[in-house]
Structure 1
């Protein structure tokens, strides 16, 4: 599709990923425990005290596994991810009960939901931060995740460990945002402010959805997925859907010794006006034009 008069082609994003520990609000003792993690177990009271205090800071939003900087980079707090991984080593298995439901796990359920609407059937583990104004339909939010204010985690949607969800995001029914507590070379998946992730879409392995972007139903985006501007054919940054656009899953042709085959990609169909919330009817019209749904 040609670029419409007055529009500019989508540009490649300049933001990358920075992994650091030196500016973490968590204590350096977490790093010391990480270095001797092979020796740790539930019987190590001192280690458990350090890890519990660190994960409590993530649980209350005083620390987070990653965030998008003012320069547009994803900055990963490696110490926070280490604390999340250490929790499974220093916490023992314990039984708990909520109503008729019995649990047997190392990581307890989250208990603080100030200002959050939690519909019966929603599950959030301790160490997940859920901001006031968020809504959890029957869904799952794992330890280390961050869910911003005004965000809706819809029915059967899942937010993985250390995944980062911005403010006023809608994760539609069955959508999944994969966690990345390990390998340590991977960045957590990030969905930025104002994005809409369609039903059964999967954002995994350090992938990133930009501000205000609309992701069509069933789209699969990983850090290595090609992202292509459907109007120009230009390949954009892999694994990243740009800000303020409509994107859907697609395929692109590749030549192999055995023939030409279609490999998965994400197609950017249309740019949206920055800062403007788009009505469902308008979005449906854009997607129907290309035979897809949100």
Structure 2
């Protein structure tokens, strides 16, 4: 999950910084977006060409900068996606017996990707060769790396960035983000595992090699604690090469004491360690039994 984008535009900035792979013509269209409609042929062609870059993987909405380790957002790419809802008209389509009526077409390029019947991906999402899509849903602007499995009933939201060799287990919900300007998409880095029915939203980050147990909730503001030391870690992040489970932390409110969701790091893995799945399952069960 590395890239070479320039720093993101600051919230409210009207012109993205240099470094975007999306044509600058998108900026001009953005400034007059209220005037645009499907009747504007030039605008439609420009936006389609821009979103096609995302669809092919030639451009991305966000990447992790290898020098700063920060998630860098290409606001121009996000603008192209938002403009597509203005310049594309409603159109009927069908897949087998299923009928659809939408502005956004379904994705048609799946080079080297296994797509199991029932999987749905919108145009403007990208899957690297070697990806496996079980019956699942992936929204526009998402980018999924090679060797990753999007398992049954998992959803990958708009602009979410999923790394290589990731397993998004059954029913996982990866949140999307298109607005407001400056908002950071969810990033799940290489070699991560997200357990069944877990939810990762609001710009949260699952760092390289992290393993998250079933049913966890990770938002951009979720508090994260180390079970061994009690140390509080950066919020909204599953640390690299860690095993994490959902937990609660007691907090006092005017109305009483309540358990507030948090993420608990119960084990650290050696960088690059390929954790045996059975051992990982046993570890998750052992922790659950302790509660």
TM-score, length of structure 1 as denominator length: 0.91
Contact 1:18–1:73 (Cα < 8 Å) also in 2? no
Match of 1:80 among 77, 81, 91: 77
Give 3-state SS (helix, strand or coil) of 1:75's partner. Answer: strand
Displacement of 1:289: 2.4
Higher mean C-alpha displacement, 145-154 vs 181-190: 181-190
Residue-by-residue CA offset, 1:149-186 (whole Å, 9 max, x unaligned) = 00000000000010000000000000011111112231
Displacement of 1:41: 1.2
Match of 1:19 among 1, 4, 8: 8
Give runs of aligned pairs for residues 60-75 of structure 1, distance below 5 A: 60-71=56-67, 72-75=69-72
Displacement of 1:285: 2.5
Other-structure match for 1:6: none
Give runs of aligned pairs for residues 70-149 of structure 1, distance below 5 A: 70-71=66-67, 72-149=69-146
Give 3-state SS (helix, strand or coil) of 2:244's partner. Answer: strand
Other-structure match for 2:3: none
Displacement of 1:59: 0.2
Other-structure match for 2:237: 240
Asked if residue 173 in structure 1 is aligned to residue 170 in structure 2, the reply is yes
Distance (Å, rounded) in 1 between the aligned partners of 2:132 and 2:99: 24
Distance (Å, rounded) in 1 between the aligned partners of 2:96 and 2:195: 32
Distance (Å, rounded) in 1 between the aligned partners of 2:20 and 2:45: 18
Contact 1:216–1:292 (Cα < 8 Å) also in 2? no
Other-structure match for 1:257: 254
For residues 65 and 118 of structure 1, do their structure 2 counterparts lie closer, same or farther at Cα, with a shift above 3 Å needed?
A: same
Distance (Å, rounded) in 2 between the aligned partners of 1:152 and 1:84: 25
Residue-by-residue CA offset, 1:95-127 (whole Å, 9 max, x unaligned) = 111222211110001011110000000001100
Contact 1:142–1:162 (Cα < 8 Å) also in 2? yes
Give 3-state SS (helix, strand or coil) of 1:19's partner. Answer: coil
Give 3-state SS (helix, strand or coil) of 2:8's partner. Answer: strand
Contact 2:75–2:182 (Cα < 8 Å) also in 1? no
Asked if residue 37 in structure 1 is aligned to residue 33 in structure 2, the reply is yes
CA RMSD of aligned residues (A): 1.5
- Unmatched runs of 5 consecutive residues or more in structure 1: 1-16
Residue-by-residue CA offset, 1:245-279 (whole Å, 9 max, x unaligned) = 01111111112222221111111111111102111
Give runs of aligned pairs for residues 250-289 of structure 1, distance below 5 A: 250-289=247-286
Other-structure match for 2:13: none
Other-structure match for 1:50: 46
Distance (Å, rounded) in 2 between the aligned partners of 1:274 and 1:219: 23
